[in-house]
């Protein structure tokens, strides 16, 4: 099973693009707001920068919103979700 976390910021339009895609396609994964707690530092340690959105896939950071949406589309079967 793939371990997924989306790092985001509520005010970020690129994050909203990803989140809107997720909602439309019933994709529910753990999400971390980088304005809360230690999340910003956690993202920095994982991926080397604090840019959001960032999808962390099995510990590996993917930073671009278009790449994240493409990854969701490409991995629909793997995740057993109907996108
Ligand atoms: N090309 C990126 C742009 C992402 C971006 O600019 N995110 C801003 C927030 S809206 C950000 O994280 N800025 C802070 C930083 O880069 O550390 C994408 O499409 O995901």
pLDDT at 79 over 90: no
pLDDT of residue 56: 98
* CATH placement of domain 4-76: 3.40.30.10
Using CB distances shorter than 6 Å, the residues near ligand 1 are 12-14, 49-53, 64-65
pTM of the model: 0.94
pLDDT of residue 81: 57
pLDDT digits (tens, 9 = 90+) for 3-26: 999 999 999 999 999 999 999 999
Average pLDDT over residues 39-60: 98
Any idea where the domains of the chain sit in the sequence?
4-76
pLDDT of residue 37: 98
Which ligand 1 atom sits nearest the alpha carbon of residue 64? 20
- For residues 4 and 31, the answer to whether their CB atoms sit within 8 Å is no
Distance 81 CA to ligand 1 centre (A): 27
SS3 74: helix
Q: What is the CA radius of gyration of the chain?
A: 12
């Amino acid at each position: 099973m793939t371990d997924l976390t989306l790092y985001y910021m509520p005010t970020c339009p690129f994050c909203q693009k990803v989140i809107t895609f997720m909602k439309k396609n019933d994709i529910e994964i753990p999400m971390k707001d980088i304005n809360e707690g230690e999340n910003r530092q956690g993202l920095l340690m994982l991926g080397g920068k604090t840019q959001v959105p960032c999808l962390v896939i099995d510990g590996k950071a993917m930073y671009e919103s278009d790449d994240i949406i493409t990854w969701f589309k490409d991995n629909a079967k793997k995740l057993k979700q109907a996108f």
